[in-house]
Structure 1
Amino acid sequence: MANKAARIIITIAGFAIGFQIMFLILYFNSYLGFFRLDYLPTLAVELVGALIIGIIFYFLSPRIINTCIKAKDWIENKLQTTPMQDILYGFLGTVMGLLLANLFTRAFLGIPWIGGYIPIIFNIIMAYLGASIALKKKDELSNIISSSLGTLQKKKKKPAVINLVKPKILDTSVIIDGRIADICRTGFIEGTLVIPGFVLEELRHIADSSDGLKRNRGRRGLDILNKIQKELDIEVEIYEGDFDDIAEVDSKLVKLAQILEGCIITNDFNLNKVAEFQKVKVLNINELANAVKPVVLPGEEMMVQVIKDGKEMGQGVAYLDDGTMIVVDGGKKYIGDTIEVVVTSVLQTAAGRMIFAKPKSL
């Protein structure tokens, strides 16, 4: 029923368009004399032309309806994946463009026959330009609005409310790592955990990988997310928006952190450096793990088991229970033995901590 009604409406619209087209053709013909209509009534010619175009529209109506349905679905999908901030700025930009268009197009209304069409074209152009400019300048507009609200609050002599707890955005590597769930359980993480939709999509691709190791890592990441959402007392938010103009997931995370004014939780060394360069705060799980390791000072003695030889001649390598590497100078001959060593120095880097020692007997 709806399909038949849509076809009738399209046919009527085609008839109206055809009548208007024929009217314009006959009008210009009266001045230019392309062809003669001495024995044909003008109204009859207009009705015949309108009827022909109406019939054409009737036969094209199924294709027009399908195109409209596809356009509707595309618009709905775009709106679902577009951040609300972008929608609001785009709407405001469109309204401003239409207001400007209606102010300037009044001068064209007096032009015969085409004066009624110029405002329509101008409205479309200005609406597009208004929305496009508003979206490109959304960061500047946000700063202007924030500054205006701050000035208004100062004038009213009301203390500004500052939200010190920033949202925490999780990247793929820290989700797969799994330690974030244990940290959240301890209560050291405050605020909302934001899980971007493009990170979930990357996890899904990893979980569906043909490589067994990648597949297990992806499924572990999805299990960690379910654990955080269902078992832990912390707010979790799924960010459905995406940045189609950005290909890399790391770049999308940095952009999202800038928009939400949040910080990224990661253990990816490269992402850490890129985010810091763009002045985005980063919480690195590896740095946290290094910070809470027991402090070891030069001259301290400990018992270690030398497991393998080191890179340099005569060196042996041992490990503490927390995974810290100990390089034992002259320890190659003690491989497989548990010996007492004396710490000579400690090297701390962003990638971890390394302890240098020598056998106590030396």
Structure 2
Amino acid sequence: MMRFVRLTGGASGAIVAITLASGAPGFFDPSVAGRLLLAAWITAWTVIGYSIMPYITVQPAGRLVRNVMDLSTSEFVAAVGGLTLGLLMGVLLGVPLSHLPDPYGWMLPIGVSVVLGLGMMGSTVAKRVDLFEGLRSLGLLDRAGVRAEPGQRSDGPAVYVDTSAIIDGRITDVAAAGFLIGTLVVPRFVLDELQRIADHGDTARRTRGRRGLDILSQLQKDPRVSFELSDEDAPGIEEVDGKLVSLARARNGAVLTTDYNLNRVAQLQGVRVLNLNHLANALKPDFLPGEEMRVKVIQQGKEAGQGVAFLDDGTMIVVEGGGSHLQTELDVTVTRVLQTVAGRMVFAHRRP
């Protein structure tokens, strides 16, 4: 493919050289020197066309395709609709302008069409949420929306993803299971922060950063997940957390995180927060005083005589009188349950 493009560029360069040479017959005289100059002229244009053709055809086309693939369904539909509407307006305004004397008669219609087309495209993309909501209120669009088939993107509330939620790793399973309704939006500055972590000198941080990049790649390729890599930014705000909260508030969206401080800051500013730790705690089974279970004590507790065990979901079980039975399975009875910021703690005592 690339060879064909380069050969086409070389042939085009030769044609341009011959066309220019034919337009200046006095420049290339029929002498030997003139013929050599003509041959060098054609060769130079052929080499130029052969060299630059991929850069003015294949590479821009590839970037255009990648940018279009990164668009969400709503952005693509809004862009096409806005561009079409703008061009139609340009054609209507261009009819009277075409009667002006040259060169205005042909320059102004083209300029007006380009300006209106690009302007309407940008406006419809920026206001797509309001436009779709207006169409739903008029009954022209199903309010419940259409469930995306595999391989398609779905439209919905914007869920801005924090770096901590990406590195955590649980987001892939939660999103694939359908618990996250809407579009997962990863701003470019979050991706840049992940890249900095992946390039960090500390081995542990570097490993976490690379895992985060792998998780983003999985989300982008998963047909069940609506994913958007956004170039949005919040000028004037330096911190990543502040940018996320500002963007989520502007689009009436939510923030997905595992960071306690970001959770509190977002809530104070009226932004909805989806905390994976809260979801994990909510999915853990409830325990009532008097329930019985069998656990394995693995370490000493903080108080004298206490032993500590863990369930498969990470719930800590503090066993009174279990400190002397390390690495031993005990039958215990729940006495009380304590909910903390770090999670749920269950206190129990040994059954006789």
| Offset, 1:256 | 0.8
- Number of residue-to-residue matches in the alignment: 215
Are 1:233 and 2:220 matched, yes or no? no
| Contact 1:287–1:350 (Cα < 8 Å) also in 2 | no
Task: Calculate percent identity across the aligned residue pairs.
Answer: 52
d(CA) in 2 for partners of 1:329, 1:250: 42
Residue 197 (structure 2) aligns with? 206
Stretches of structure 2 that go unaligned for 5 or more consecutive residues are 1-74, 76-126, 146-155
**Letter in structure 1 aligned against 2:251:** L
Structure 1 gaps of 5+ residues are 1-83, 85-141
Distance 1:311 1:228, change over 3 A: same
Which residue in 2 is equivalent to 1:354?
A: 345
1:332 alignment partner, SS class: coil
1:264, CA displacement in angstroms? 0.6
Of 175, 200, 206, which aligns to 2:166? 175
Where does 1:60-99 land on structure 2 (aligned, <5 Å)? none
Q: Is the 8 A contact 1:269 1:351 kept in 2?
A: no
Query: In the TM superposition, what are the counterparts of 1:1-362 in structure 2 within 5 Å?
Result: 158=138, 165-361=156-352
Structure whose residues are more often helix by fraction: 1
After superposition, the Cα gap between the structure-2 partners of 1:314 and 1:232, relative to the gap in structure 1 and judged at 3 Å, is: farther
Tell me, what secondary structure is at the counterpart of 2:313? coil
Deviation at 1:255, TM superposition (A): 0.4
Please, what TM-score do these two structures have when normalized by structure 2?
0.57
Partner deviation per Cα, 1:305-362 (whole Å, 9 max, x = no partner): 111111112111100011110111121111121111100011123431110001112x
Cα distance in 2 for residues equivalent to 1:269 and 1:238: 24
- In 1: Cα distance, 2:347 partner to 2:168 partner: 28
Q: Distance in 1 between matches of 2:184 and 2:144?
A: 15
Classify the secondary structure of the residue corresponding to 2:349: strand
Instruction: For 1:187 and 1:288, locate their aligned partners in 2 and report how far apart those are by CA, in whole Å.
Output: 13
Query: Which residue of structure 2 lines up, in the alignment, with residue 15 of structure 1?
Result: none
Separation in structure 2 between the aligned mates of residue 359 and residue 245 of structure 1, nearest angstrom: 58
Aligned equivalents of 1:270, 1:257: Cα separation in 2? 16
**Matches of 1:283 and 1:231, distance apart in 2:** 21
For 1:270 and 1:160, locate their aligned partners in 2 and report how far apart those are by CA, in whole Å. 42
Distance 1:347 1:160 in 2: 51
One-letter identity of the residue aligned with 1:292 = L
Deviates more, 1:218-227 or 1:349-358: 349-358
Give me the whole-angstrom Cα distance separating, in 1, the residues matched to 2:223 and 2:144: 23
Per the alignment, do residues 210 and 270 of structure 1 end up closer, same or farther by CA in structure 2, a change over 3 Å counting? same
Residue identity in the other structure for 1:284:
N
Deviation string 1:247-305 (CA, Å, 9 cap, x unpaired) is 21111110010111100111111111110000000011011111111221111111111
Structure 1 range deviating more: 171-180 or 240-249: 240-249
Change (3 A) 1:229 1:322: same
